[in-house]
Structure 1
Amino acid sequence: MKIGYAQNTITPSLDKPVYLAGFGNNRRATAVHDDLYARALAIQTEQITLVLVALDLIGFFRPDVYEVIEKVNRPDAQIVIASTHTHHGPDTMGLWGPDQKTRGVDEEYMRGVKQKIADVILASLSTLEPTSVKWASVRVPGLIKNARTPEIMDDELTLLQFTTADGRPLTTMMNYPCHPEVLWDMNPNITSDYVHYLREEAEKRTGAPCIFFAGALGGMMTPDVKDHSFEEAEFMGKKLAGEGVKALRAVDSDPLSVNSQTADGERQTMDGNAVGGQWSAVSITKKVISAKLTNILYKLAFRRKLLPDVRDKNGCIATEVNLIKIGGLWLAAVPGELLPKLGLQLKAWMKEAGAQVAGVIGLANDELGYILPLEDFKYPWNPFKPGKHYEETNSIGKDITPKVMGALRELIR
């Protein structure tokens, strides 16, 4: 196995208005607290070339993803592009302009971002070097809450690390199910929120770059903080990074908890609990799905030309799910913000099918909003005053849930 890594800043210039996405309209950025990034991790075996890309953006629609893939022009490479879902970056979707009737996307910025993402993917593919891999997971309680259904909680940090033959870290991946919104709607600074501090701390502790992916962060899964400050974001990010690095180091120090990779790459199984491990099989399988859009607010956004209308003649939107396997770590990549009940179900299915550690990558190769359990989906009679059913007004509709879960169930089996 070989890996390559590259990153580039995608922070917008403040020479013209930048409308921050994720809360209300007319949130104009006044400063840059920390840079936003496109980060790419390329993984290559004799059978496959896979590139996982993380963007510090609110979301990236599927047509934009495939425009980038076309620019890359590497038919041999399987590419997944996911957004961290920061609520303090530029509007890349269209809903957060100066008012509710004006699109907030800077098309010139978008053109530049797409080229930068393509460039960073190609750069990651040009820096491939031999590696070993290990994975782990650890619960990190006390940092987040489920604001919609408090009794359903997923606080698992999913981890992957690539190392040299002598154990020196090359790249670390962290995956956690929480909105990057420690800072709140009054924040005028561009920032990747707690993700910035997580990556910075992980890189300080390992001496290697860190790439972060959002998990099943619907619900919504939000930071449980006393105040919406950079100090709280720093505490959360550093706590997650510290627990993650400690869990990865435990894979090396506890032989009863791992599967180890021999020098020739053969899997060697040891007894013990499966909290982490090492071997090198990599695969990705994709299933294209189509789901009907019924949300009247999205239909209104289409009429106002805030969002690109990609419905077919039947009112359906084509999207995709992916199942990624890297050794004993399995990742379900979903095209939106999965609620934690569904995320936990996917993890259970993957573990039943043979995964040692399982995770969910949200907002992967698309962003279709919230994906809710059918039994919990109740569209409010007045979507402008949704009350406890806000998530339904930011979902394409009920049809997306069985399509996503059914397709992934087939791939996992």
Structure 2
Amino acid sequence: MPPSTFRSASFGCETTDVIRRCVRVVYSEGGSNTIPGVPNEARRGPPEKKVAHTMLRPFRRPLAVSGVLALLGMLLGASKPATSPRSSVLANSWRGFQPGVATREDVVGRLGPAPIETRRSDDLRYPSEGRPGLNDRLYFRDGRLALVTSASVDARYPDRAAIVERLGEPEHVVRFVTQEYLDYSEHGLRFICDKAGRTIGTIHFEPRRRRVPADYPNARIDLRRAAGSVAPADPPAEFRVGAAQVSISPQRLDDLTASGAAARLHVAQDLKARAAIFKNAQTTIVFLGLDVFGLGPWDVAAIREELSKRGYRNVILAMSHTHANVDTIGFYGYYPARYAGVIRERAVSAVLKAAENLRPIRELRLGSVEMPLAGGRVVDLVRNARDPGLLDPTVSIVQAIGRDGRPVLNLIHLACHPEVIRLEETRGLSPDYVGTLCEEVSRRLGGQTVFLNGALGGMVTPDTRFRTQQAAERMGRRLAEFVVQAARRAEPSGSYRLWRLRRTVVYPITGETVRAFLQDPPRPVDLYQGRFKTEMNAVWVGDAQFITVPGELLPDIGLEIVSHMKGRLRIIVGLANDELGYLVPSFDFRVGHYEERTGPGAAGGEITRSVGLQLAPLVPAE
């Protein structure tokens, strides 16, 4: 019986309880002493816990261990898991605690109350062993340990070689520039190794079916490229850059929601429209970043049509997706029409203001840095709640330096939902971490900062401990440090080309909630026989290459597309010119799950992947 079958098998309640109790007895009374690398004091249960373990009290310890294994064998029958029962039980344990078996009471009883404060009883954080300043995060479901994202040193898995020797070749690999993701879902484990092969993060969970089929094209993704340098070039005399921002915070709060609860809202931090314009003799490219949850296709079209009348036809409208602004799509039932009109008007004015600021520049500079995925997440900053460990840790910057040597523009990019803040609790409208991130980057580097989000789908989200405005501001300041590092490492562009290719994309809408919304939207949409037409774009600014997607792309697809892109800086822009929800890879489509319902449907991810892979290798002529 493969681990995935074991996980979903429907044993009777008494049988399941017997298995769990037997395994807990082995752990607390000595069976876990064979786990390499776990200190003895962490393996032993406290004396008072042993009183409760009456099931095997008459037996000696060796007999108890063998009896448990025999009982497991009888219960499971002749089916065989991928590993032996003992190694399967022990391989994915964390400090002797087995996901799916250990309870919250087991963990707290042995380790004591978690010393790192959180506001949730199902989220415990303990300091990482051997990694000062980091923490291990434990998630509980129905009182049992479901997941651990650990930065602790684990002597069983010190490096990539030891991992492969013990578990075999990984099921799925992503080689980032400075680190590597290894997926062993059938063993209930994932790892992050640094460039030298040392393990810096381990993810523990119940064994499950492998996510990526062995022969699937993205089972091995390699983002590393041979080192090289490009000779810097001087910008043409006609090359200009302009940037600006305007407030899009609502002046009235009484009509933002249907319930009238908006009367209790306030603006905790100013919401912005931020615009960047790149212009040469032939082409003008506009990036327009908005602090909005999203916009409906009718509002996106209205903004772009107004800008087109004024000569700006190559517009990438990128929504930050802050969850601390109201639903300006009307997806959840109420469309704040007046406020949407304010956003449209001010978005256009941000671009026009940026046009007034157009000026010649001395150079474009391109830089990036990877945030460390210690513990399978960027500790206290970013994690993937759906597929732990799998996210793009890259922070990028395209910086325009004026002729006076000062930055004119910082066009910055990373991938994470802006959802630190729980708006229903704080009642404070906010750009979430994006606002402070942009402010801090501008304060430290100078110039106007414009934010673009990335492949944040399924579910790349903050790893913060609290859901407040203050927590969002702290996250913004910490992320700004990575942007500053990227700017310090930036190198001059070897090109000043401006190029955009638009590709029409048609999605069959089968996702339940998106289909219901588009069938009865606040404003008319072009939905023909259940199909919705939108677009993806390939954009080049100097040596920086962008591919835009009309929704929340899962990292699997984004990383595969990036691996085929040719630019020195490679950027996926999410929620660009449309917001169709989650774009899920076909191999990981889970019928009935939240992301699957809240997106175009089963074909959405594969369509996006196909078009993205067509756009990725395109390099415009100079």
TM range (shorter): 0.7 to 0.9
Q: What corresponds to 1:238 in structure 2?
A: 477
- 1:119: which partner in 2? 349
Shift of 1:406: 1.6
Which of structure 1's runs of 4+ aligned residues deviate more than 4 A? 306-309
User: What does 1:241-320 align with in structure 2 at a 5 Å threshold?
Assistant: 241-251=480-490, 258=491, 260=492, 267=494, 279-302=495-518, 305-306=520-521, 308=523, 310-320=525-535
Structure 1 gap ranges (5+): 97-102, 252-257, 262-266, 268-278, 381-388
State yes or no: 1:95 paired with 2:331.
Answer: yes
Cα distance in structure 2, aligned partners of 1:15 and 1:226: 29
User: Aligned equivalents of 2:336 and 2:312: distance in 1?
Assistant: 32
Instruction: Give the aligned partner of residue 33 of structure 1.
Output: 268
Maintained 8 Å contact 1:60/1:82: no
Q: Give the Cα separation in 1 of the matches to 2:589 and 2:260.
A: 30
Q: Does 1:81 align with 2:317?
A: yes
- Look up the match of 1:175: 413
Alpha-carbon distance in 2 for matches of 1:112, 1:230: 24
Structure 2, unmatched stretches of 5+, are 1-238, 373-377, 618-622
* Match of residue 222 from structure 1: 461
1:246-274, Cα deviation, whole Å (9 max, x unpaired): 221233xxxxxx4x46xxxxx4xxxxxxx
Q: Is the 8 A contact 1:12 1:90 kept in 2?
A: no
Residues in 2 aligned to 1:48 and 1:246: alpha-carbon distance in whole angstroms: 31
* Per-residue deviation, residues 259-303 of structure 1 (Å, max 9, x unmatched): x46xxxxx4xxxxxxxxxxx4222111101111011222333356
- Number of aligned residue pairs: give it: 368
RMSD: 2.0
Distance in 1, matches of 2:389 and 2:256, equals: 38
| 1:51 has 2:266 as partner | no
Residue 306 of structure 1 deviates from its aligned partner by 4.9
Is contact 1:71-1:115 (8 Å) kept? Answer: no
Is 1:360 aligned to 2:595, yes or no? no
Q: Which residue of 2 aligns with 1:18?
A: 256
Matched, 1:375 2:587: yes
How many Å separate the matches in 2 of 1:301 and 1:366? 14
Distance 2:533 2:515 in 1: 16
Q: Residues 394 and 27 (structure 1 numbering): CA distance in 2 closer, same or farther, change over 3 Å?
A: farther
1:298–1:15 distance in 2 versus 1, CA, 3 Å: closer
Q: Which SS does the other structure have where 1:77 is aligned?
A: coil
Q: Percent identity?
A: 31
Out of 447, 460, 466, the residue aligned to residue 208 of structure 1 is: 447
Residue pair 2:294, 2:579 contacting (<8 A) in 1 also: yes
Map of 1:133 onto structure 2: 364
> Are residues 76 and 230 of structure 1, via their aligned partners in 2, closer, same or farther at CA, if it must alter by over 3 Å?
closer
- Higher alpha-carbon deviation: 71-80 or 151-160: 71-80
Aligned-residue offset at 1:309: 5.7
**Compared with structure 1, are the counterparts of its residues 297 and 77 closer, same or farther at alpha carbon in structure 2 (3 Å cutoff)?**
closer
| Residue 228 (structure 1) shift | 1.4
CA distance in 2, matches of 1:400, 1:247: 33
Contact 2:367–2:487 (Cα < 8 Å) also in 1: yes
TM-score normalised by structure 2 residue count: 0.57
Q: Amino acid of the residue matched to residue 299 of structure 2?
A: D
Is the 8 Å Cα contact of residues 6 and 40 (structure 1) preserved in structure 2? yes
Per-residue Cα deviation, 1:111-162 (whole angstroms, up to 9, x for no partner): 2221221222222223210112111111123221100000312121111111
Q: Which residue of the partner structure matches residue 614 of structure 2?
A: 410
- Cα 1:233–1:313, aligned 2, differ >3 Å: closer, same or farther? closer
Aligned-residue offset at 1:224:
0.5
Question: Deviation string for 1:53-83 (max 9, x for gaps)?
Answer: 0010011233322211222213453111110
Structure 1 residues 93 and 399: CA distance shift in structure 2, 3 A: same
Could you tell me how far apart the structure 2 residues matched to 1:40 and 1:74 are? Answer: 15
SS at match of 1:174: strand
Quote the residue 2:54 is aligned against: none
In structure 2, the CA distance between the partners of 1:173 and 1:148, relative to structure 1 (3 Å rule), is same
- Aligned equivalents of 2:299, 2:477: Cα separation in 1: 32
Deviations 1:80-125 (A, max 9, x none): 11100000112211123xxxxxx32221222222122122222222
Q: TM-score, normalised by structure 1?
A: 0.84
1:394 equivalenced with 2:567 (yes/no): no
Q: 2: distance between equivalents of 1:15 and 1:27? A: 9
Distance 1:297 1:69 in 2: 26
Which of the pair has more CA radius of gyration? Answer: 2
Instruction: Indicate how the Cα distance of structure 1 residues 77 and 295 shifts in structure 2: closer, same or farther if over 3 A, else same.
Output: closer
The structure-2 alpha-carbon separation of the partners of 1:26 and 1:302, relative to structure 1 and needing over 3 Å to count, comes to farther
CA deviation digits over 1:154-191, x for unaligned, max 9? 12111111111342111101111100011124221000
